[in-house]
Amino acid sequence: MYIKPSGTPLQVEKALHLPVDVKVLNYIPVPLGYMVSKGRLLFSRAEEARFSWLEMTWDRYFDMQYFLRSSLNDLLFPGE
């Protein structure tokens, strides 16, 4: 799903007076997608597409969650 923004990130930053970082959701890592999905939605034109993306992202994240936690434990507690 790609939705063309209404302005460039620089124009959005000037309007909001806040830093803006634009990422295409199709190409972000799964953990980042999950964190993005937990944030507050500002605007959506395509609810069906958004729900499809949410479902796909959550499925992929929860499938990977065991391996992500296992890897983190291996890094934090080697040899246990």
Number of domains in the chain: 1
Assigned domain for 59 exists: yes
Assigned domain for 9 exists: no
Output 70 or 43, whichever has higher pLDDT. 70
Assigned domain for 72 exists: yes
Assigned domain for 39 exists: yes
Could you give the C-alpha distances from 9 to 2, 27, 50, 80, in angstroms and in order?
A: 15, 18, 21, 46
**Percent of the chain, pLDDT > 90?**
51
Assigned domain for 36 exists: yes
What range does the domain containing 33 cover?
23-76
Assigned domain for 10 exists: no
Assigned domain for 17 exists: no
**Residue 31: band (very low, low, confident or very high) from pLDDT cuts 50, 70, 90:** very high
